[in-house]
Structure formats: C-alpha cells, structure tokens
Chain A
C-alpha cells in the first residue's frame, strides 16, 4: 500500500487512550433464568497497547467489548477511559463488527464520511480529505464511488476499518472483524492492521477465537473461560513487528495460548443459576 503525501493539517490528533475495567460483572436475565455472562473482570490497558481477548464462544468476550464501547451497561463495576467513566457509546471508542455493518445506502466514500460528520470543528473539505486519506490507507482509494454490495468481504472490512479510523478515535474495539474472511485475505489484513497500527497509534482491543491471530497481532493476550466469563491467563508477547502469522515464533506462542484455552475447557463448567 502506498500512502499519500502528508495532508495539510494534522490527521492523527488524538492520543490513544488508557482503559481501566474495574470489577465488571454482567448478568443476562431471561424470564426463566439469570445467566452470569461476566464475573469480576479487571483489566488495565495502556495507551496505544494492542490487546486480544480470546476464548470459546459464550465466554462473554463480545459482551465485555460492548461494555467497554458503552453499548451495554455493566451490572457491577465500571469502565474508565482516560479516567472518565464510560456512560454510553461515543466516537472516541469505535467498534468494528464481524459483519462490516457498512450502510448499503451510502457509497464507500459516504460510509467513511459518516462518522466524520459527527466530529466537530472540521470543514467540509477537511472531512473529505480525511476520508480520502483513510481510503488510501486501506488501499481502496479507487473504490470510493462503489456501493457496499459490490465489494468482497475483505474489501468491506477494509472499508469498515477506514470508517472506524477516520473520526480519529482513541480506542478501536474489534469484534472478530476477520472471522468471516478466507485465510488469504485474512493474512493480508494481519499485515495491513500491523502496518496501520504502526502509523496511527491507537489503543486496540481485539476479540477473537483465533489464537494465531491473537499471537500475531497483540502485545498482550487474555484467555477467557465461559460460564461465567472470567479472565484466566495473560500472555505478554515481545516478538518484533511486523509479525508473520506463519512464523514459528508466533506458532509457538499460539500453541501455548491454545493449551491454556483447552485447560479451561476441561474443567467442568460451574453450574449456572
């Protein structure tokens, strides 16, 4: 990917945020039962850190991401972003979903512009310039006029990435954004994400069930166990970047993470209320 010359103004203005998850618990209540989704989650994420949450389905990792985003409120505990309590969603913490969630009534360019229109103090031209810059960043500058249904799955997630980065959030929350893609596209996006993260330092939390993906991308990996969702193990990764997902170093760490995951699964799940 080639990048445009630096634009006339500062595009990357917001510093990455520090995140603090304090004693967060969450129950899901149905008329017949109450299921605990998260149990006493404590997590500190430094500015600009890349964190992965891995775990089997149902371990509450997406719920935790929703809580950090402010889309769901915890029943106990709280989330602090730069010492401010998270009380609702906001453009400083953008979410990338597994299904790209792009808007079909807008062009690719219109989608990237969507969040930018909520950013104050920008002129129309600056917004267009920022959107163009981010489409170039993900290598789709030629597809600005295309509609969403005309793009492949990988291109859609690239647009979703551009859309999430354009409003300059301080935290990027990714909910299995690559899970639906084929292996080749995914490997390309591992490289792209590392490249983009190196340029546009953001605090990133990535939710995935793919241990190689976690080992390839993150600074720290947290392993979660289900029923109720708990943080179990923490892996700190010091491998140099960019990392190749197929390299033996990544594979070794991935196998360690996988062993930890399996270890929690073999323990009999605690009874659910």
Chain B
C-alpha cells in the first residue's frame, strides 16, 4: 500500500514537472507538447485502431525474432561453455558480433532480403543471438563443478547427466540469457522499423518515424511511452514467473 503510494507520487511529480515546463512557454509546444496532448494522441490512436494495429505488427515480429534468437542462442551458449574449442571459435565470433550495434545489420539485411519481413527478422535475430550466447555461456561456466562430480558418483553420466544436472543447474543463467535477449531483440526491432520501411506491416517504430516526419511530437512521445510500457509488461509476464520459481528453489534474490 505504502509502496503503491510512493510509485503514484513519484510519477505524479514527474508528469507535474513536465506540465509546468510546458506552461512556462519557454519551449515551443511543437518540440515539447504538454502531457495532455500526448494522452489525447494516444486516446485518438487507440480509438481509430492505428496504435493497436501497430502494436500487433510489432509484437508479432518481436516474438518470432526473439524466439528464433533464443532457439539458436541458448544451445550455442551451452555448447561454447562445454569446450575450449567452441569457446575460441563460436565464442569469439559471438563476442565480436555482440559489440556490433544491431542497426549496423540494416544495410546488409536490405541488400540481401529487400524491403521485406525477412529483413526485419534478420536484424532482430542478429541483434538477439549473440548476447544470448554470451549470457548463457558465462552462466553455464559458473555452474559449481561439484554438481557434475556428485552426479557422476551416483552413476549419472552423458545424456542423463546433461538432462538431469547440467540443464537444470544452468537454468538461472538460461533465464538471464533470455532476459538479455529480450532487451536486445526489442532494441533491434525498433532500429529495424525506424530504418526499414516496408509495406507488409506498419509497426510502432514506423509510427514513431512518421511522427518525426510530420513533426508530431505528441505522437513521437506517445509511441515512446507505449514502447516502454510494453517492455515493462513483457518483463512481468515473461520473466517474473521464472524468477519467482528460481527464487523459491535456489533461495537467491535480495528480498
């Protein structure tokens, strides 16, 4: 109860400052629209369906790209953690490509795939995979070796050891890898949508970009708010259950 109150107070004050700043008249409303204008835009876009449609298109791309990235990245990460050879090769490649901002994939994607959904997915997957590989690899390397030793003395080797010990033991790291991947997928998709204009779907990034082209700052800020809110909700829905599960089993976490 008290915490909810603090949250409301904090954001209330933030919006209040914003409102006050616009009322001073020092900044043109074209550059800094009042909060109410943003709310008005969001309400309008919600009612004429553009916002929902754009959100739907974006989420669809995001989820497909994200799960492809996870499906490739998690096994690769576990693989690089198990041998020095794969670490020196795939691991080094992942490290190199992870430093590459995902927007740098856009020119390549456009030339290879043209202005298509595939180009969009390619950028998201490339932006996601490498960070997932690195997070999973780092995690799986920190599994206490005593688990594997204990399992071996109980007669658990090979496939049985992998499925019953290594995989569950790496679960906390897999989840952090997935979380990392989510953040990177979201960023990559927004970069792709802002830079790649395609006819098959009109996403949130496009909405943002058109807001800029029309100098509709209320639209720009409104879409940014939507992007932040979606990120927060996804975090709650996708990862909180896992984190609660880990917390209950491993006894980790600060609370």
Binding site for B on A (CB under 8 A): 69-71, 88-91, 93-95, 97, 99, 101, 103-106, 114-115, 117-119, 147-150, 163, 167
Please state if B155 and A167 are interface contacts (CB–CB under 8 Å).
yes
Leading 10 A-B pairs by shortest Cβ distance:
A149-B251, A91-B155, A115-B154, A118-B155, A101-B150, A105-B168, A89-B152, A95-B153, A101-B146, A89-B153
**Complex contacts, A149 vs chain B, CB 8 Å:** 249-251
**Complex contacts, B249 vs chain A, CB 8 Å:** 104-105, 147, 149
Please state if A97 and B150 are interface contacts (CB–CB under 8 Å).
yes
**Complex contacts, A91 vs chain B, CB 8 Å:** 153-155
Q: What separation, in Å, do the CA atoms of A119 and B146 have in the docked complex?
A: 21
A103 in contact with B147 given A147-B248, A147-B249, A149-B250 (CB within 8 Å): yes
Chain A CB within 8 A of B117 CB: no
Q: What separation, in Å, do the CA atoms of A104 and B147 have in the docked complex?
A: 10
Closest chain B CB from A249 CB (angstroms): 34
**Complex contacts, A97 vs chain B, CB 8 Å:** 146, 149-150
Q: What separation, in Å, do the CA atoms of A222 and B41 have in the docked complex?
A: 83
Per-residue interface assignment for chain B, residues 149 to 178, with 1 indicating a CB less than 8 Å from any chain A CB and 0 otherwise: 111111110001000110011010000000
**Count of chain B residues with Cβ under 8 Å from any Cβ of A?**
21
Cross-chain contact of A101 among B147, B160, B248, B250 (Cβ < 8 A)? B147
For chain B, residues 211 to 234, give those with C-beta under 8 angstroms from any C-beta of chain A.
none
Please give me the residue from chain A that is nearest to B165 by CB atom. A103
Please state if B155 and A115 are interface contacts (CB–CB under 8 Å).
yes
Chain A interface helix/strand/loop/mixed:
loop
Please give me the residue from chain B that is nearest to A104 by CB atom. B250
Closest chain B CB from A55 CB (angstroms): 21
Known contacts A99-B146, A118-B156; can you find 4 more A-B pairs with CB under 8 A?
A: A94-B154, A97-B150, A118-B154, A149-B251
Q: What separation, in Å, do the CA atoms of A149 and B251 have in the docked complex?
A: 6
**Complex contacts, B169 vs chain A, CB 8 Å:** 103, 105
A94 in contact with B147 given A103-B169, A105-B249, A105-B250 (CB within 8 Å): no
Please state if A105 and B154 are interface contacts (CB–CB under 8 Å).
no
A90 in contact with B171 given A97-B146, A114-B164, A150-B251 (CB within 8 Å): no
Please give me the residue from chain B that is nearest to A116 by CB atom. B154
Most chain-A Cβ atoms within 10 A of its Cβ — which of B153, B154, B249? B153
Closest chain B CB from A205 CB (angstroms): 13
For chain B, residues 117 to 152, give those with C-beta under 8 angstroms from any C-beta of chain A.
144, 146-147, 149-152
**Complex contacts, B151 vs chain A, CB 8 Å:** 114
Q: What separation, in Å, do the CA atoms of A26 and B182 have in the docked complex?
A: 49
**Complex contacts, A71 vs chain B, CB 8 Å:** 149, 152-153
Please give me the residue from chain B that is nearest to A91 by CB atom. B155
Please state if A93 and B250 are interface contacts (CB–CB under 8 Å).
no
Closest chain B CB from A215 CB (angstroms): 27
Please give me the residue from chain A that is nearest to B151 by CB atom. A114
**Complex contacts, A119 vs chain B, CB 8 Å:** 155
Closest chain B CB from A148 CB (angstroms): 8
Please state if A147 and B147 are interface contacts (CB–CB under 8 Å).
no
Please give me the residue from chain B that is nearest to A92 by CB atom. B155
Can you spell out 9 A-B residue pairs with CB atoms less than 8 angstroms apart? Answer: A69-B153, A95-B150, A99-B146, A101-B144, A104-B249, A105-B249, A149-B251, A150-B251, A163-B154
Closest chain A CB from B254 CB (angstroms): 14
**Complex contacts, B165 vs chain A, CB 8 Å:** 103
Closest chain A CB from B158 CB (angstroms): 12
Please state if B154 and A114 are interface contacts (CB–CB under 8 Å).
yes
Q: What separation, in Å, do the CA atoms of A115 and B165 have in the docked complex?
A: 12
Closest chain B CB from A171 CB (angstroms): 10
Closest chain A CB from B170 CB (angstroms): 10
**Complex contacts, A148 vs chain B, CB 8 Å:** 251
Closest chain A CB from B84 CB (angstroms): 15
Please give me the residue from chain A that is nearest to B247 by CB atom. A149
Closest chain B CB from A103 CB (angstroms): 6
Please state if B250 and A95 are interface contacts (CB–CB under 8 Å).
no
Please state if A101 and B251 are interface contacts (CB–CB under 8 Å).
no
Q: What separation, in Å, do the CA atoms of A196 and B250 have in the docked complex?
A: 30
For chain B, residues 54 to 86, give those with C-beta under 8 angstroms from any C-beta of chain A.
none
**Complex contacts, A114 vs chain B, CB 8 Å:** 151, 154, 156, 164
**Complex contacts, B147 vs chain A, CB 8 Å:** 101, 103
Please state if A95 and B171 are interface contacts (CB–CB under 8 Å).
no
Q: What separation, in Å, do the CA atoms of A88 and B152 have in the docked complex?
A: 9
Q: What separation, in Å, do the CA atoms of A104 and B168 have in the docked complex?
A: 9
**Complex contacts, A99 vs chain B, CB 8 Å:** 146
Please give me the residue from chain A that is nearest to B245 by CB atom. A105
Closest chain B CB from A216 CB (angstroms): 25
Q: What separation, in Å, do the CA atoms of A69 and B249 have in the docked complex?
A: 29
**Complex contacts, A105 vs chain B, CB 8 Å:** 168-169, 171, 249-250
A93 in contact with B164 given A101-B147, A147-B249 (CB within 8 Å): no
**Complex contacts, A94 vs chain B, CB 8 Å:** 153-154
